[in-house]
Amino acid sequence: MDELKVKFEQVIWIAKTLFKRSMVTGSTGNISFRNENDVYISGSGTCFGTIKEGQFSRLSLKGNVINSVKPSKEYPLHLMLYKNKPEVQAVIHTHSFYSVLYSCIKHENESDIIPSYTPYLKMKVGKVGLIPYEKPGSEELFSAMEKRLIHSDAYILKQHGTVVSGKTLMDAFYGLEELEESAKLAWFLEQKKELDV
């Protein structure tokens, strides 16, 4: 089986798994992977729960659409990571509940907002930065992300969702799951601190 076919099998499995786990709902979220000098990203309006190979847009690294599928409006977030971090081969953006919830509270260090209550977040993801709120898909959002790109390894868009990359699709998936579990743990521990005061 060729490498591109394997990547499509993985990306579709990941998308459907995330949908089943309620990490995305409806037609929210987007997922991409790099294959040689092209990027394949879920098309605009697609649903992770039903996505098929023919619903991926094929882009050049400059953002030119190569096939007939319209890309997700947030494709610039993905291309930004591929261009600035050469090791990145996959990017996943979801609206995971606890990550979004945790982004809504005040954070002292916005380049690393989730505490290391367990070792796994740092091992699998690294530092998780907060990107200030801007309208989804807007130039303002892309600009805000670009300004903070080098300070963190993964990101939570404030009041919006996560952006996690990886050296492979599965690395990105594992990282995303770890980030959401860490955000959940942090949320409950922060609430307990408030109650203990």
- Residue type at 11 in one-letter notation: V
Instruction: Judge contact between 91 and 81, C-beta under 8 A.
Output: yes
Answer yes or no: 74 catalytic: yes
- pLDDT digits over 72-115, tens only? 999 999 999 999 999 999 999 999 999 999 999 999 999 999 99
Looking at 74, 177, 178, 180, which residue is catalytic? 74
- pLDDT digits over 108-160, tens only? 999 999 998 999 999 999 999 999 999 999 999 999 999 999 999 999 999 99
CB-based burial label for 96 (10 Å; 0-12, 13-18, 19+): buried
Instruction: Judge contact between 177 and 17, C-beta under 8 A.
Output: no
Looking at 53, 110, 117, 120, which residue is catalytic? 120
Give me the domains of the chain, ranges plus CATH numbers: 3-196 (3.40.225.10)
Position 29 scores a pLDDT of 95
